[in-house]
Amino acid sequence: MQMPQPDAGVLANKPRIAARLRAALGPRGVIDDPIELRAYECDGLSAYRCPPLCAVLPASTEQVAAVMKICHEEGVPVVPRGAGTSLAGGALPTADAVLLGVARMNRVLETDYDNRFIRVEAGRTNLSVTGAVEQDGFFYAPDPSSQLACAIAGNIAMNSGGAHCLKYGVTTNNLMGVTMVMADGEVVEIGGAHLDAGGLDLLGLVCGSEGQLGVVTEATLRILAKPEGARPVLIGYNSAEVAGACVSDIIKSGILPVAIEYMDRLVIKAADAHVGANYPDCEALLIVEVEGSDAEIDDQLGRIVKIAKRHNPVEIRESGSAAEAARIWQGRKTAFGAMGQINDYMCLDGTIPVSRLPEVLRRIGEMGAEVGLQVGNVFHAGDGNMHPLILYDANKPGDLEKTEALGAEILKLCVAVGGCLTGEHGVGVEKRDIMPSQYAEADLEIQMQVKDVFDPDWGLNPAKVFPLDASAGRRG
Amino acid sequence: MTVTTESALAEAIAGAQGPLRVRGGGTRDIGRPTAGDLLKVAITGVELYEPAALTLVVGAGTPLAEVTTLLAGEGQRLAFEPMDHRVLLGTEGVPTIGGVVAANVSGPRRIQAGAARDHALGMRFVDGAGRVLKNGGRVMKNVTGYDLVKLLAGSWGTLGVITELSLKVQAVPETEATLIVRGLALEQGVSALARALGSPYDVTGAAHLGFDGGTTLVRIEGLQGMVDHRAGALLEDGFAGWERIDAAASAALWADVRDVAPFAGSDRPVWRVSLKPTDAPGFAAALEAAGLSHRGIFDWGGGLAWLELETTAQDAGAATVRAALAAVGGHATLVRGAPEVRSSIDVFQPQSAPVTALTRALKQKFDPRGVLNPGLMGV
């Protein structure tokens, strides 16, 4: 992974820059000790590490604005960080960058049930947004699997999804407004407690812009009344083709499950070994969840089971109780951890049209075999968002490079069948250099021109999203 | 000029010597009237329709009616329920799917299912320099690069001209029902709608018609058993005495709300105001207090106020509407107004200084010569 050469001038000015930041934030708000900075050297893509020049932990929008102003004046790049759970290296620092963490900004600012929104500081974790409203029967819908740890700031930067977005959409569909600090320190309000934009939809542009257009410090989020209940059914098949056909038939039938999850044999076995999930012995396992009252759930699951039976399942396991439902979900929810126990792995995130699932799964298996790497698959089948897990040995020289090369080929396959490089994790540094496989030069140029508008000096998270050579002229 | 291919469109824009009036079907005559040659986008045809993937890819000039007929054939629909502006504006022509997205036109279901912009998965478009560009794709989840699809949706052809759209579609539910009550004042109506929307019953329509004594409507959609259960639960808990209207009769009620049909057939100014739902009663009262009589349709639980004004003011009430709105926050657009009025006021809500600066700079990047609908949105 290539990163830009750090700016020697900035490195030389570290004492002055740190002193200015400390004057603005107080001693608790600035970290410049090399040992302490190690905590910020990477995010969830831990194969790449680089301690930043210093890290700042502002406590308010005003303090973020002060930091941005100082960094703008000093010509210091800023890398924003939510909770550091990015799997794409979205919060990977460079040696000459100030790492701006919003973790101290985690308050709930306003809760309004009549108008169904909550306003929070952006450092608040995803799950604790729901935590703030669930006692009153509400929830915040986007649920990335890192939701216990990940911050709303990062969710907005990456437009995070989750298991339940088949019904409820992703972050951008649940975001109503933001307070954002621009690269030069100016504070701008976009959207609010009302719906849609009065002018251009800048909110839709900011969401998913990977911290390159501004630093979001506060967010107004749509909250929803919790459904009466939810229950899954587990369906096992002996081939990916048949499981894929079943998914298609369920969607076509008009039932809208909140989730359709898929696991292949490798992952099923790992989940079994890890938490004793007791899943059926099969090639492809589906977990389909629906919501409503007990009678409504029975009605919908009855229809789903009828469809599933037409495809000769190995097993159908319905959940009669909350405990049984939890058991069905447990293996899926811990699948990534289970895979981590058996091996190092790299998690991909391409999306494909659901009609191409069987073909793509077969090709992924073949491509892995060609280079001697095993690939497990666990993903959101309802929306085609795949998460191939390539198993490798981090201690074996050359294995990581081989894995990355296979990963890039799999993602290019996703694009080739009509899909995209990333469904919910973001581009970050990880997929930056394969962006040209999805977008032509002009398509990337117009996106970079958008960054020119918001951040003319390219000081915000500059070495991400766009191929390094494509952005070289702009980064100076 | 009418263009039927993307390359002809790119050529027409690249070769433009002055401003162009970009239109789809020309049924949404909204915004500041702009000068220039007419450029009508008639790039039609279905590229791809995969009902099992809930995905449709279609030429932007395809008539909306063709799209809805095609989808209905597979028991599907556009979930965001786009309004037909011909009813309110008395315009003629054939609405296109590109026009729907370019204007981000949504209907009552927007509160539950999202707006047009939420269902646009990807697009091809031609910018003001004549560059053919694409963004997004045809899959449900896609965070690859910046989301220019959202930016183009609702930009009224001022940044680029959409040539092809990928849309997320939805299965038509088995049935629907509306609970309806008459005689509630606006404040009571909005409060009842808030209770319905705060219930676990996945309400897909919540509107209050603030005239003829007041009519308040709540819509439930789904499987027959689900609709029965949910409507029954509401009628038992807090909605006693409301009448239940089913299926086709229910759908007809919502088509009228969607198209703002009660205000059809007049040339009185009509404003579209987006605000926090519970602010609607106070906002309406402030207009009355300022001497601006009006009839109101309050959709989206109160968060979308359609106001038909009784006024002869030169500005169609703009100053009063915007002053009352400033107290609570939101945005107001003059949707129906005489061209000379629309030429003299801000038809779209004026934005804050930093947002205006960003808007200008984006326009400059996407349309450096200023040929695409210049001034239509005010900036």
Q: Which token pair is B316?
A: 């169609």
> Phi then psi for A90, rounded to 5 degrees?
-65, -25
Q: Which domains does chain A have, with CATH numbers?
A: 8-103 (3.30.43.10), 108-225 (3.30.465.10), 230-336 (3.30.70.2190), 343-426 (3.30.70.2740)
Q: Which token pair is B249?
A: 């009769």
Residue A268 in this model has a pLDDT that exceeds 80 = yes
Report the topology of domain B2-171: 3.30.465
pLDDT, average across residues B111-116 = 98
Query: What pLDDT, in 10s, does the model give residues A424-445?
Result: 999 999 999 999 999 999 999 9
Residue A140 in this model has a pLDDT that exceeds 80 = yes
Architecture per CATH, B261-344: 2-Layer Sandwich (3.30)
- Nearest Cα of chain B lies from the Cα of A14 at a distance, in angstroms, of 31
Give me the pLDDT at residue A289, please.
Answer: 95
Residue A241, chain B, CB below 8 Å: the answer is no
- Nearest Cα of chain B lies from the Cα of A137 at a distance, in angstroms, of 8
- Nearest Cα of chain A lies from the Cα of B2 at a distance, in angstroms, of 26
Contact A115 B359 (CB under 8 A): no
Residues of A in contact with B153 (CB under 8 A): 201, 204
**What count of residues does chain B have?**
379
- Best A200, A207, A222, A291 member to test B by mutation, with max B CBs in 10 Å, is A200
- Nearest Cα of chain B lies from the Cα of A201 at a distance, in angstroms, of 5
Confidence of residue A166 (pLDDT cuts 50, 70, 90): confident
Average pLDDT of chain A, as a whole number: 95
Nearest to B271 by CA among B302, B300, B294: B294
- Nearest Cα of chain A lies from the Cα of B298 at a distance, in angstroms, of 13
3-class DSSP state of B213: coil
Contact B55 A442 (CB under 8 A): no
- Which of A182, A418, A443 is nearest residue B134 as measured by Cβ atoms? A443
Residues of B in contact with A116 (CB under 8 A): 197-198
Give me the pLDDT at residue A1, please.
Answer: 83
Alpha carbon distance B52, B50 (integer Å)? 5
Alpha carbon distance A349, A389 (integer Å)? 9
Does ipTM exceed 0.90?
yes
Contact B276 A115 (CB under 8 A): yes
- Best B32, B138, B146 member to test A by mutation, with max A CBs in 10 Å, is B146
Nearest to A45 by CA among A476, A346, A381: A346
Q: Given this structure, which CATH class describes domain B175-258? A: alpha beta
Confidence of residue B46 (pLDDT cuts 50, 70, 90): very high
Contact B329 A453 (CB under 8 A): no
Query: What pLDDT, in 10s, does the model give residues A326-382?
Result: 999 999 988 888 998 888 999 999 999 998 998 999 999 999 999 999 999 998 898
Contact B143 A431 (CB under 8 A): no
Residue B73: CB atoms within 10 Å:
10
Give me the pLDDT at residue A254, please.
Answer: 87
Number of inter-chain CB pairs under 8 A, A vs B: 266
pLDDT, average across residues B15-34 = 97
Contact A354 B53 (CB under 8 A): yes
In chain B, list all ranges with CATH 3.30.70.240: 261-344
Residues of B in contact with A193 (CB under 8 A): 276, 329
Top-confidence residue, A164 or A391: A391
Contact B366 A446 (CB under 8 A): yes
Contact A201 B151 (CB under 8 A): yes
Alpha carbon distance B303, B286 (integer Å)? 16
- Which of A182, A255, A353 is nearest residue B53 as measured by Cβ atoms? A353
Residue A425, chain B, CB below 8 Å: the answer is yes
Nearest to A455 by CA among B267, B338, B146: B146
In chain B, list all ranges with CATH 3.30.465.10: 2-171
Residues of B in contact with A443 (CB under 8 A): 133-135, 145
Residue % of chain B over a pLDDT of 90? 100
Residues of A in contact with B135 (CB under 8 A): 443, 447
- Best B109, B112, B144, B164 member to test A by mutation, with max A CBs in 10 Å, is B144
Alpha carbon distance B332, B294 (integer Å)? 15
Residue A450, chain B, CB below 8 Å: the answer is yes
Residue A343, chain B, CB below 8 Å: the answer is no
Residues of A in contact with B202 (CB under 8 A): 227
Confidence of residue B284 (pLDDT cuts 50, 70, 90): very high
Contact A188 B348 (CB under 8 A): no
- Which of A113, A137, A188 is nearest residue B354 as measured by Cβ atoms? A188
pLDDT, average across residues B250-263 = 98
Q: Which token pair is A472?
A: 């070289």
Query: What pLDDT, in 10s, does the model give residues B64-102?
Result: 999 999 999 999 999 999 999 999 999 999 999 999 999
> Phi then psi for A137, rounded to 5 degrees?
85, 20
Nearest to B156 by CA among B331, B367, B305: B367
Contact B173 A254 (CB under 8 A): yes
Residue A351, chain B, CB below 8 Å: the answer is yes
What residues 124-163 of chain A have any CB closer than 8 A to a CB of chain B? 137-138, 158-159, 161
Alpha carbon distance A236, A331 (integer Å)? 14
Give me the pLDDT at residue A336, please.
Answer: 87
Alpha carbon distance A356, B41 (integer Å)? 32
Min mean pLDDT across A293-297, B80-84, B260-264 is at A293-297
Residues of B in contact with A173 (CB under 8 A): 114, 118
Query: What pLDDT, in 10s, does the model give residues A196-213?
Result: 999 999 999 999 999 999
> Phi then psi for A56, rounded to 5 degrees?
-120, 145
Residue B194 in this model has a pLDDT that exceeds 90 = yes
- Which of B278, B333, B352 is nearest residue A115 as measured by Cβ atoms? B278
Alpha carbon distance A194, B304 (integer Å)? 9
Confidence of residue A141 (pLDDT cuts 50, 70, 90): very high
Residue A208, chain B, CB below 8 Å: the answer is yes
Query: What pLDDT, in 10s, does the model give residues B123-135?
Result: 999 999 999 999 9
